[in-house]
């Protein structure tokens, strides 16, 4: 029997220009974590996102690590962070010896609940134990509700760091998420909306912060002819070759966003009519990229639960994934405090991310859709009231 072609969750989708930029790097021998593509990539990234200053880095995780250090996080500090996210949003807090405290999501956007954040800050202010930073995550291509989050942070003079790793190309009131807080970070990992085969970006409205990020990312070398260091640095710069890929990818970002939104519309228009299926709602303050199309499955109404659907898809060589397991449920963060948690827990139990790559074909989408519809009808086979 011929194996069906695997359909993966989200794979790299290279455009026409990337190889040209990479070849230029080879031809000019700029095969290093310095070079003209890095400068150009940072500048073009600022143009696309409206960020003021940007530093291209080895990964989104590296960017977040530097961001936390730049706002002064130290051993023993606490940092508030969205709970419904990938572990990389909180791991850098621990790199610095600080402690994550998690905040639950809002049903309406799946992102950090601004009211819950406000309450948590009020509670902490009363006992004189405010966090030293807040990390808000913009999940699955949709911006969190930034204004009330920023207002709550400003009220207590706490720096806001935006983890926009999944939200490049999205908007919040017409602007790019990632450009509102003191620092924003993005990821160009292979599964993100655009990729450099691994990379990240740190942006900020403050020029000195970004200059300091570059300094720390290149081993913190003091300006001296010999190697001199007054601070501990990192090797976190992006390579000029990768930046070349990034420049090509930036040129197709709009198309990639449009393709992923089209995937979502195909899924929503076909699966949205099944009982028990709900897609991640889109908040009216902005435009979501639908980096991943995510839905929840109410097993009673649908007839099968999230895991049954995932396994049925897997049997057809179709990769889907449960929505992020909330960080407060992760063994490694078991000791950490969490404000709320039930919303994220429910989204994890019922939530599924469907194949969402910008390179999926209509046939691919059809296969996914048909399989999910089949699961529903097979589960209903024994219903006595089936009238057709």
Ligand X SMILES: *Cc1c(COP(=O)(O)O)cnc(C)c1O
Interface with ligand X, residue 83, by CB under 6 A:
no
- 347 binds ligand X per the rule CB under 6 A: no
Query: Is position 289 an interface residue for ligand X (rule: CB under 6 A)?
Result: no
C-beta of residue 262 within 8 angstroms of C-beta of residue 254: no
Q: Which of 73, 96, 135, 137 binds ligand X (CB under 6 A)?
A: 137
Taking residue 386's Cβ as centre, other Cβ atoms within 10 Å add up to 9
Sign, CA torsion 149/168/365/307: negative
Place of tokens 């992760």: 330
Using the rule CB under 6 A, is 248 a contact of ligand X? Answer: no
Nearer to ligand X by Cβ, of 89 and 261: the residue is: 89
> 335: left (phi > 0), else alpha (psi -120 to 50), else beta?
alpha
How many angstroms separate the CA atoms of 32 and 35, rounded?
7
Alpha-carbon Rg of the chain, whole angstroms?
Answer: 22
String of contacts with ligand X for each residue 179-218, x by CB under 6 A: --------x-x----------x------------------
- Examine the residue annotation and report whether 212 is marked as an active-site residue of this protein: no
In whole angstroms, the minimum distance from the beta carbon of 282 to ligand X comes to: 18
As measured in angstroms, the least distance from the Cβ of 145 to ligand X is 17
Please identify which of the residues 4, 192, 212, 254 carries the catalytic annotation.
192
Contacts 24+ apart (CB under 8 A), 270-274: 270/369, 270/373, 271/295, 271/369, 271/372, 271/373, 274/302, 274/372, 274/373, 274/376
Nearer to ligand X, 124 or 260 (CB): 260
User: Which CB atom, from 137 or from 241, has the smaller least distance to ligand X?
Assistant: 137
Q: Which two tokens stand for residue 239?
A: 């390579």
Q: Rule CB under 6 A: say whether 85 interacts with ligand X.
A: yes
Question: Among 18, 145, 163, 364, which residue sits at the site for ligand X (rule: CB under 6 A)?
Answer: 163
The binding site for ligand X (CB under 6 A) comprises: 59-61, 85-86, 88-89, 137, 163, 165-166, 187, 189, 200
Give catalytic residues, as residue numbers. 192
């Amino acid at each position: 029997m011929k194996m069906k072609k695997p359909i993966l969750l989200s794979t790299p989708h290279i455009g026409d220009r990337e190889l040209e930029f990479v070849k230029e790097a080879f031809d000019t021998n700029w095969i290093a974590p310095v070079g003209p593509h890095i400068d150009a990539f940072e500048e073009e990234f600022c143009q696309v996102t409206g960020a003021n200053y940007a530093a291209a880095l080895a990964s989104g995780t590296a960017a977040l690590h530097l961001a936390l250090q730049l706002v002064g996080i130290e051993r023993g500090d606490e940092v508030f962070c969205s709970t419904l996210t990938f572990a990389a949003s909180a791991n850098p807090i621990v790199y610095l010896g600080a402690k994550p405290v998690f905040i639950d999501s809002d049903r309406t956007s799946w992102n950090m609940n601004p009211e819950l954040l406000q309450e948590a800050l009020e509670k902490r202010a009363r006992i004189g134990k405010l966090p030293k930073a807040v990390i808000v995550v913009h999940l699955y291509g949709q911006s969190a509700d930034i204004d009330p989050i920023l207002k709550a942070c400003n009220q207590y003079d706490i720096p806001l760091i935006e983890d926009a790793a999944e939200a490049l190309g999205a908007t919040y009131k017409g602007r790019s998420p990632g450009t509102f807080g003191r620092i924003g970070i993005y990821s160009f990992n292979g599964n993100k909306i655009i990729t450099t085969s691994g990379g990240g970006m740190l942006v900020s409205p403050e020029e000195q912060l970004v200059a300091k990020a570059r300094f720390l990312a290149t081993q913190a070398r003091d300006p001296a002819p010999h190697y001199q260091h007054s601070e501990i640095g990192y090797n976190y710069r992006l390579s000029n070759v990768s930046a070349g890929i990034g420049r090509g990818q930036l040129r197709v970002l709009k198309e990639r966003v449009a393709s992923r939104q089209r995937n979502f519309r195909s899924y929503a228009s076909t699966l949205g009519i099944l009982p028990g299926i709900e897609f991640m709602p889109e908040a009216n303050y902005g435009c979501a990229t639908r980096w991943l199309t995510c839905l929840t499955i109410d097993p009673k109404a649908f007839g099968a639960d999230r895991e049954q659907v995932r396994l049925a898809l897997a049997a057809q060589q179709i990769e889907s994934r449960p929505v992020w397991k909330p960080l407060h449920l992760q063994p490694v963060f078991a000791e950490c405090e969490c404000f709320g948690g039930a919303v994220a827990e429910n989204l994890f139990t019922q939530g599924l991310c469907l194949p969402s790559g910008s390179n999926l074909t209509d046939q691919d989408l059809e296969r996914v859709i048909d399989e999910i519809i089949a699961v529903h009808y097979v589960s209903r086979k024994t219903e006595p009231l089936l009238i057709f």
